Amino acid sequence: MISSATLPVKPTLPRFEGNSRLRLFSGSSNPALSREVAHYLGIDLGPMVRKQFADGELYVQIQESIRGCDVYLIQPTCRPVNDHLMELLIMIDACRRASARQITAVIPYYGYARADRKTAGRESITAKLVANLITQAGANRVLAMDLHSSQIQGYFDIPCDHIYGAPVLVDYLVGKCLSDLGVVSPDVGGVARARAIAKRLNDAPLAIIDKRRQAHNVAEVMNLIGDVEGKTAVLVDDMIDTGGTIAEGARLLRAQGARQVYACATHAVFSPPAVERLSSGVFEEVIVTNTIPVPPERQFSQLTTLTTAKLLGETIWRIHEESSVSSMFR
């Protein structure tokens, strides 16, 4: 389910007149989220034609004048990643050639983010390559949520606003009034993320799972640093892909005496066999956001999906008004 009442139109936001410079367009990867963002801002999504030719080539046409406008293109580059990335690049190019004043690529989920460094010889740093493509296509700014590693911000030669899904997840957890909370990072690389959420949860104790990855999408849990005995453990990660890491972590936490185990992640990638692993009974609840749409066949009874529309809409408004974005997270 999507845990959120119908979002009200931002009360301080003036109704846009025909000469407003702000324009919002949606790619095909997550139109439901784009509609929610538009509703929060009190505007309509701009008209656009998208189609695919018989050979797979994509075609995009903006169907209103955007000359001199500030254009925001919402397109998470989720499955199928290459199609959605190419669509975003074409959208950017179309807006650039239509004389938009500023083009902001709003990427709630940034694909290829895990290829952010070389771990072996003759590998591509694809996260940097994608950043170059977006910049060369004509984007003036990028708005991304929960990048896999913060260093990716530096891969862009244009301004990059990096926002976090933590406020949405924390608000939901606080509303559940869970007792004896302990926040757990599923690996050493996620400690900063888990620590930030633990601080928001009244300085809940923090534990870390030590693991060793033997291959892509394969993880072996080795040890738990910290104490979860008798606690409600909340495993925190930026994304859940195949679910192997977080499910193995949950089993370790239960073996170490955790009373309940919850999983929290911003991005629900859910590649097979994630659904089977997550719905196997090791979690009381799996809490994600709607940066990536979860189709019906990948939903299960323990899944809760929270909306990020208000967070994205508020950020877009602040960028448009040239006010502080970072103050939202203090």
What residues act catalytically?
A: 211
Q: Which residues of 265-283 are buried (b: 16+ CB within 10 A; e: fewer)?
A: bbbbbbeeebbebbbeebb
- CA–CA separation, 105 and 93 (whole Å): 11
Name residue 148's amino acid. Answer: H
Nearest to 268 by CA among 246, 285, 289, 254: 289
- CA–CA separation, 281 and 299 (whole Å): 14
> 270: which 2 tokens?
């859910």
- CA–CA separation, 116 and 279 (whole Å): 30
- CA–CA separation, 113 and 144 (whole Å): 11
Nearest to 41 by CA among 328, 320, 330, 305: 320
Is residue 218 exposed (0-12), middle (13-18) or buried (19+ Cβ within 10 Å)?
Answer: exposed
> 315: which 2 tokens?
């950020």
Pairing of strands 141-145, 232-240: unpaired
